[in-house]
Amino acid sequence: MNEKYTYWLKKILFLPCLIISLFTQAQEVDYFSNNAFGNPVTGHSGEYYNGVTYVAYQGEKEDAFVAAYNHKTKKWIGPFKAGTSLLGKKAGKIDNHGKPSLIVDGAGYIHVVFGGHGGSKKMGVNPLGNYNSGKQIHVVTKRPMDISSWEVVDNLTPFATYSQFIKMDNGDIYLFFRHGAHRSNWVYQVSKDNCKTFSSVKSIVKAKPTSPTKVCNDVYDSWYLDFHKGSNNEILVAYNYHVCKNMRPHDSERHNCYYMKLNTENEEWYNVKGEVLKLPITKEYADKKTMVVNTGDRWGQIGRAFMNNQGQPHVYWYEGEYDQSKHGGPKKLVNYYWTGSEWIGNDTNLPVEGRGDVLMNSKESLQYLIGYKEGTSSEVAWWSSKDVGQNFQRGKVLMKEKGAKFKLSNFIRNAHPDARIIATQKIDGTNYSKVFLIGDNGPIKLLKVEN
């Protein structure tokens, strides 16, 4: 064949490949999904396991969706629908209480629990609380590390809200949740066989009338709890008190900060002084045995408990003066730590108002990875302090986009450096959000043709 003819033939045949390549590059995006619905991500939404990061979020009609990123092949898998929620099926109504919690068991099967906002009376009697809507649903992959197909496992109570998975070093899996709607005990169960079966429910804190002697009482002691794996066999708990009103307009009034921990080896609960606690804990008992600080008239939202490298517990949360139009007002980050004899701390004096998670390097040194507004843009950046939060310096900005403030999960369990945290950003004019997986080098990108 004529060499000149062959040369031009190769050029012509190569041209479509070049066009496709250029088109593909032009379609690269920072997010891996744009079908997240409402407020789509909870704290316990992701895990790195055997080279893959798994991420769960609330998608279309509040159903549970899962995506995965293979760090070796650098490819996204999914997202796939993992299960159907009873919530989110009424037009114009977004519930947001049944966001999915994800765990990978010791055999590599992925479990997701989602869809609960207390359950309903038609599901039976709730002995530990009241009802609202939805149903706690447990699904698991049909094959290890394969998120393409799922099945329902009917081994949990339907009466649940805010389900949170914790996995211990020995493979035991703990599931914590509120056993119903607002006026319900918080409880936990344990599985020692990769979530095939769970122990009976055990109450942690008790919901009860604030003034039980009154004939007509419309206020309940209620709670919000966050659970975090500590060192070795400990689970750390930060919690706050909710003034649950009924006859008067219900609002998000919450006060105080409390701390305790569970020793999973002997199944005993302890306060910061090492005293064994009696369960279930009431408001009066919590004030006496586990209080970090009384916030007075200031409203708060729960943060997280963690340890520094010297074994001292820290608790961070968010406080603000009451402002009805802002559901309690702007809430600044507050950090307290235990000296061995008392809790000390204060407003962290961050120059921005953001939410995220924390890494503790020493007694004094800590780093917050937070999402916040910066002018007309939203940023995700590291902020570091060497004096336990009195002063901060902004570190590396991992992401910056025009639009709404980024909302962050907690750090991903066993996180890979390229995938530390999940972020969402609301799409203007819609009820949907984009979902990002962010690591030390920023968001992991997706070629749109992979969708």
Q: Which two tokens stand for residue 109?
A: 């099967």
Q: How far is residue 33 CA from its own chain's centroid? A: 18
Residues constituting the chain: 451
- Would you call 198 helix, strand, or coil by DSSP? coil
Q: Is 97 annotated as catalytic?
A: yes
Residue 424 CA to residue 413 CA, distance in Å, equals 18
Residue 218, judged by CB atoms within 10 A of its CB (0-12, 13-18, 19+), counts as: middle
Yes or no: say if 131 and 118 are a contact pair by the CB < 8 Å rule.
yes
Q: Which two tokens stand for residue 450?
A: 């992979």
Catalytic pick among 54, 57, 97, 372: 97
Q: In Å, what is the CA distance from 122 to each residue of 88, 131, 252, 394? A: 19, 10, 27, 52
Q: Is 314 annotated as catalytic?
A: no
CA end-to-end distance (rounded Å), the chain: 42
Q: Which two tokens stand for residue 364?
A: 């004094």
- Name the amino acid, one letter, at 206: K
Yes or no: say if 390 and 413 are a contact pair by the CB < 8 Å rule.
no
Residue 295 CA to residue 331 CA, distance in Å, equals 12
Alpha-carbon Rg for the chain, nearest whole angstrom, is: 23
Catalytic pick among 48, 54, 69, 162: 162
Q: Which residue has the tokens 């998000």?
A: 252
Burial 373-387 (b: 16+ CB within 10 A, else e): eeeeebbbbbbbbee
Active site positions, annotated: 97, 162
